[in-house]
Amino acid sequence: MMNFIELIVLAVGALLLGVIALWKRKSPAKLREIPALARLSRLLGLSVEDGTRLHISLGSGNLLDMRGGSALAGLAMLRHIAERTSVSDAPPVASAGDPLLGMLSQDTLQAGYKAAGAAELYSPSTGRVAGLSPLGYAAGAMHISTNENVSANIMLGHFGSEVALLADAAERGSTAVIGASDNLTGQAVLFASAQEALVGEEVFAAGAYLGVGASHAASLTLQDLFRWLIILLLLGGAAAKLLTSMGIL
Amino acid sequence: MRIITVFIAMVSGLAILAAYFLKGLFPVLGALQSQLLNAAILLAGVAALSGIFNLLSVHAGKVRRGEKGGIYSALLVVSLFITFVLGLILRPGHEAMQVVVMGIILPAEAALMGVLTISLLYAAIRLLRHRADVTGIFFLLTVVIILFGSATLPMIGSIPLFGDFSRWWSQVWALGGMRGILIGVALGTLVTGLRVLFGADRPYGG
């Protein structure tokens, strides 16, 4: 029975995503302002103008388990950043704490360069595996922001408490830090240590705010729809329990 | 080529997903799912090797170009080479390899954890510099309440009533917020997965 409900939710979700994406192509979405994402958009332009580098940290999420969702969101953002900043004097660097994610970051960067018509400028060393454990990754990636003329660190992926080391290194190098994680500990640490932090599902909203495509804007609408449905179900469940305890139901 | 990549990714993803729900009805889907997952695990193993070569090439390049911090890169390349060769010859279970893990890697990670504690404390101290707003104040207040609620003070022991208040605060307010955030993250993950599954997002360069 549960399997059947899950299948229905997925099928309805996929159908709605397609329909809303078609609708969003005709009428662009109006989005509330998220300061971190507004700043991210400004930082992309600034890094090209002043010839500094962006460091995109994708975290140590494994694509074969549930931590892969935020890593995939990070890759979508990386593709857009590569496309917009590929012609900069100092191209962006992506670091990952998982080998599969590292390979995909190289592929994504290359696709971004191709889309910008600058395929010859792509260098495989801009997509790196910085370490194979969360702490090892933090130790490897924290030197990128201090040693490679980085003006902003954008952390989007699966991070735990080790992200404090990355944020601290960036802070010492006077670089801007924008952070987002799907992990609660990582979110709390980023909230305290990053200049701009994305909380909760905002980690998945970067694509829509950067104008990656109609499917990203459609995702936000679909998330809102599902959220309202969950709120109604929770309230309905609470009301039913209350009425049952009062003997009305 | 691009279309073929997208097609393979979509069909594999849909087959694995379909098997979760329908393998009772169609056993062939279960067999296909396990074949595809085994292939993915195998590829992930190869990717780990490729990741190590990537790490090696980036740091070797730093040493060659004489970049800032090149000495650490040289140390990493030499250590990696020695450990890799030793691991191949002696096998990971050998005593010498255990010494490398227990005597070098674990203490280094423990030291990083120590640095992390200081970084977190420093982040908490400067929190209000970044976020002097209601959210920042509530965040800090929650940290203080939970910290004092779980601490035992010298001479006094647990602070009277404070432990109960702290438990109520963490079980009702903090846990409620946490669940809200987790529901949001789960929805985001679901929708991102659907985008990748139907080829709207192609993180494989397609």
A139/A182 same-domain check: yes
Q: What pLDDT was estimated at residue B129? A: 81
B6/B19 same-domain check: yes
Q: What pLDDT was estimated at residue B182? A: 94
Residue A22 resides in a domain: no
B64/B121 same-domain check: no
Count of domains observed in chain B: 3
**What phi-psi label fits residue A28: left (phi over 0), alpha (psi between -120 and 50 degrees) or beta?**
beta
Question: Which pLDDT band, with edges at 50, 70 and 90, does B205 fall under?
Answer: low
- SS3 of chain B: CHHHHHHHHHHHHHHHHHHHHHCCCCHHHHHHHHHHHHHHHHHHHHHHHHHHHHHHHHHHHHHHHCCCCHHHHHHHHHHHHHHHHHHHHHCCCCHHHHHHHHHHHHHHHHHHHHHHHHHHHHHHHCHHHHCCCHHHHHHHHHHHHHHHHHCCECCCECCCCHHHHHHHHHHHHHHHHHHHHHHHHHHHHHHHHHHHHCCCCCCCCC
CB under 8 Å, gap of 24 or more: what pairs does B177-181 form?
Answer: B178/A184, B180/A200, B181/A184, B181/A187, B181/A199, B181/A200, B181/A201
What is the number of alpha carbons within 13 Å of residue B135 lying toward its C-beta? 8
A201/A224 same-domain check: no
Mean pLDDT within A40-55? 90
B110/B148 same-domain check: no
ipTM for this model = 0.90
B21/B72 same-domain check: yes
B5/B86 same-domain check: yes
Total Cβ atoms within 10 A of residue A31: 12
A81/A129 same-domain check: yes
A123/A241 same-domain check: no
Distance from CA of B156 to the nearest CA of A (A): 31
Residue of B33, B185, B204 to mutate, testing the A interface (most A Cβ within 10 Å of its Cβ)? B185
Task: Judge whether residue A249 has pLDDT over 80.
Answer: no
B110/B182 same-domain check: no
B67/B26 same-domain check: yes
B172/B106 same-domain check: no
B6/B77 same-domain check: yes
Count of domains observed in chain A: 2
Q: Which residues contact B14 (CB under 8 A, 6 or more apart)?
A: B197
A108/A123 same-domain check: yes
Q: What pLDDT was estimated at residue B175? A: 93
Rounded Cα distance, A197 and A35, in Å: 9
Task: Judge whether residue A236 has pLDDT over 90.
Answer: yes
A159/A239 same-domain check: no
Q: What pLDDT was estimated at residue A51? A: 86
B8/B52 same-domain check: yes
**DSSP labels for A167-220?**
HHHHHHTT-EEEEEESSHHHHHHHHHHSSEEE-GGGGGTHHHHTT--HHHHHHH
A129/A235 same-domain check: no
Q: What pLDDT was estimated at residue A152? A: 93
A194/A126 same-domain check: yes
Rounded Cα distance, B53 and B187, in Å: 36
Q: Kindly list the residues from chain A whose CB atom is less than 8 angstroms away from the CB atom of residue B21.
A: 3-4, 6-7
A143/A240 same-domain check: no
Record: contact A69-B193, CB cut-off 8 A: yes
Q: What pLDDT was estimated at residue A186? A: 94
Total Cβ atoms within 10 A of residue B180: 15
Q: What pLDDT was estimated at residue A1? A: 67
Residue A10 resides in a domain: no
**Out of A21-30, A97-106, B102-111, least confident range:** A21-30
User: What is the extent of the structural domain holding B103?
Assistant: 95-125
A110/A218 same-domain check: no
Q: By percentage, how much of chain B surpasses pLDDT 70?
A: 99
Residue of B195, B197, B202, B204 to mutate, testing the A interface (most A Cβ within 10 Å of its Cβ)? B195
A178/A232 same-domain check: no
User: What is the extent of the structural domain holding A66?
Assistant: 31-210
Residue A20 resides in a domain: no
Rounded Cα distance, B89 and A185, in Å: 40
CATH number at residue A183: 3.40.50
B158/B84 same-domain check: no
Q: Kindly list the residues from chain B whose CB atom is less than 8 angstroms away from the CB atom of residue A191.
A: 131, 139
Distance from CA of B118 to the nearest CA of A (A): 10
Q: By percentage, how much of chain A surpasses pLDDT 70?
A: 99
Record: contact B185-A203, CB cut-off 8 A: yes
Rounded Cα distance, A16 and A113, in Å: 32
Q: Kindly list the residues from chain B whose CB atom is less than 8 angstroms away from the CB atom of residue A230.
A: 183, 187
A110/A187 same-domain check: yes
Total Cβ atoms within 10 A of residue B105: 15
